Structures are given as structure tokens and as C-alpha cells.
Structure 1
Amino acid sequence: MNIITDAEQLRKIALFAQLDAGRLKRLAFASEESSFDDGDIIFTIHSGSDSVYVIMSGEVGIFINEDASGDPVAVLSTSDVVGEMGVIANQPRSATLRAQGEVRCLRILADDFMDLMRDNPEVSLSVLRQIVDRLTRTTQALEALKREQVNAFSPQAS
């Protein structure tokens, strides 16, 4: 792992953009680089939320079953952060994450991520905005699905 390069890449991620160079280097140093091949499971639903992942390159699929079968409910890519909700809520993972192609991530341990949020209100606010955005998109998707189901089972007007 190259701490300087990782710190520079972290700066490009909206969540960490406002951190000074020293904090970015500490974050890069405290994180662990992980690489995954296509189809590798990064973490599974209901497992412990012990870390947050920053996707440095590649794409990951989010699945709501343990074996990551079927179509992903969402796809995340470079610069996305995943796993933060379980860490913040101290709850098990709410989904399974599977690599779609080659993926490189930085893994930030839960305690380090929580320290980062406590010490940097701008990071906390950015995380909150990201969670609200995901919740909004999820709600919109559920509403669309509900409309489709209602329309599918409604009698057709003649």
C-alpha cells in the first residue's frame, strides 16, 4: 500500500474531500487495502459490521440474500463508501456485497471510522447526506415497485 497515493485517492472521494493532508494520510495508514476477483463475496448479510469499505476501483453488487444470487438491488463503483450504516448503528450487515469484476477497496475498521466521524463534523455531515440520499432512492424504488404491482393486479378498463 502506498499511503501517499491512497491519501490522494481518498481526497477525491466526497466523504473525505474536506480532510487535511495529515488526516488523509492517517486514514490511509489506518486502512487496509483489499483486492477481490469477479464473484468474490466481500461481506455477507447478517455478518458483523466491523468495518467500512471505500471502493477505490471496480464495481460491487449489493444483494439482499446471503449467497448473492439473482440480480443486485444496486451497484456501487469507484469512490463509493459501503458498510457505514451498520457501523454507525452497531447492527449486522443489511446486505451481501459481491465483486463484479476486479475490485480494489480500502477497509477502515469500525473504531477508526467512528473516531473519524467524531473528530470531523464535516465527515459526519457527509455520511448523513449519503445515507439520506440512499434512503430517498430506496423509497422511490419501493414506491415504483408498489405502483407496478398495483397496476399488474388491477382489472383492466374495457
Structure 2
Amino acid sequence: MNYGITVALLRRVPIFASMEAGALKLLAFSSTYLTVDDGEIICHEGDASDGVYVIEAGKVEVLVERGDTRVRVAVVGPNEVVGEMAVILSQPRSATLKALGPGRLVKIDADIFLSTVTGNAESALGVLRILCARLNGMLRRYEDLSRRLDHPG
């Protein structure tokens, strides 16, 4: 993939949309391009958080392990970012990412992502919005589950 196409892709992603062209070019230049097949594991829960993924095409399933079972917590698609939470917290991956069909992703190095996003207030706010929206969704699911457990049937 050429850098111009990658810059155009990043510009469609909300957390990068307001970045200057130079910052987007830096992200594009430091990126790795991945093509994945259906069912391919992109990263495992517990892996080192060495980058964030931008989905160009296809869908990715976000799975957490509970004992011997993997539980789907989300499905993300084109122009979405995944993996940023582990990078921001400097912690191992909190979930496994698995391709749902063929896809193309851009992996941005963790250090480049952090320095670029923290150097741009709009991008930092974009990351906060994404994380808050995810937290809000989890809280709603938790409340729904609590109600169903308190009042079964």
C-alpha cells in the first residue's frame, strides 16, 4: 500500500481526522500493512501491546478468554481503531483479535501512535471519546445483564 492511500485511510478514522498532513505521513510511514484470512488470529490476549490496528477492509472480532471459552465482546470494521487501550495503559493485550473473513489492516507502532496522538489535542480527545463510548456500552450491557439476573423470565 502506498503512503498516500494510507494517509487517506487514516484521515477517515475519527481520532486521526484533525491531524496535520505531516503527522499522518509519519503514522503512515511507520505502519505495517497486514492482509489477514478468515479466522486468522491477529494478536492474542496477554501479548505485548506493540501497536494499534486500523481496519481498512473486513471485520475483526474482539474476544476475551474466560476459562476454556472465548467470549466475543465486540466486532469492529473499516475505519475503526483497535488495540489502543493496551498501548495507552502500557499493558498486555486485554483481548484476542480474530479476522472475520479476509481483511486488510494497518498496524501503527505503539511509540509512534502515543507520541503523535498526545501531540495533537483533537486526536487525544478522539481517543478519549472512543474509550468513553466503549465504557458506556459496557456499562449498559452490565446493567441489562444485572436486570435479567435479578428478574429472570
Same fold (TM over 0.5): yes
Offset of 1:73 from its aligned partner?
1.8
How far the C-alpha of 1:70 sits from its partner, in A, is 5.3
Higher strand share: 2
Aligned residue-pair number: 153
In structure 2, how many angstroms separate the alpha carbons of the residues matched to 1:118 and 1:60?
A: 26
Distance 1:20 1:116 in 2: 10
Question: What residue number does 1:59 align with?
Answer: 59
Give CA deviations for 1:52-92 in whole Å, capped at 9, x if unaligned: 001111101111128x9655221100011011111011111
Match of 2:75 in 1: 75
Q: Name the residue aligned to 1:112.
A: 112
Runs of 4+ in 1 over 3 A off after TM superposition: 68-71
Distance (Å, rounded) in 2 between the aligned partners of 1:23 and 1:114: 12
Distance in 2 between the 1:69 and 1:102 partners? 24
Secondary structure of the structure 1 residue equivalent to 2:101 = strand
Aligned to 1:25: 25
TM-score (norm 1): 0.90
Alignment of 1:5-24 (within 5 A): 5-24=5-24
Give matches, 1:61-140, under 5 Å.
Answer: 61-65=61-65, 72-140=72-140
One-letter amino acid of the counterpart of residue 91, structure 1: Q
Bigger Rg over Cα: 1
Instruction: Give the secondary-structure state (helix, strand or coil) at the position aligned to 1:104.
Output: strand
Q: Please, what is the CA RMSD of the aligned residues?
A: 1.9
Pairwise CA distance, 1:103? 1.4
Residue 100 of structure 1 and its aligned partner are, at CA, apart by 0.1
User: Take 1:69 and 1:77, find their aligned partners in 2: how far apart are those partners?
Assistant: 23
- Report the identity percentage: 41
Letter in 1 for 2:58: G
Question: What secondary structure does 2:87 align onto?
Answer: helix
Residue 47 of structure 1 is matched in structure 2 by 47
Alpha-carbon offset, residue 118 of structure 1: 2.3
Structure 2 unmatched ranges of 5 or more: none
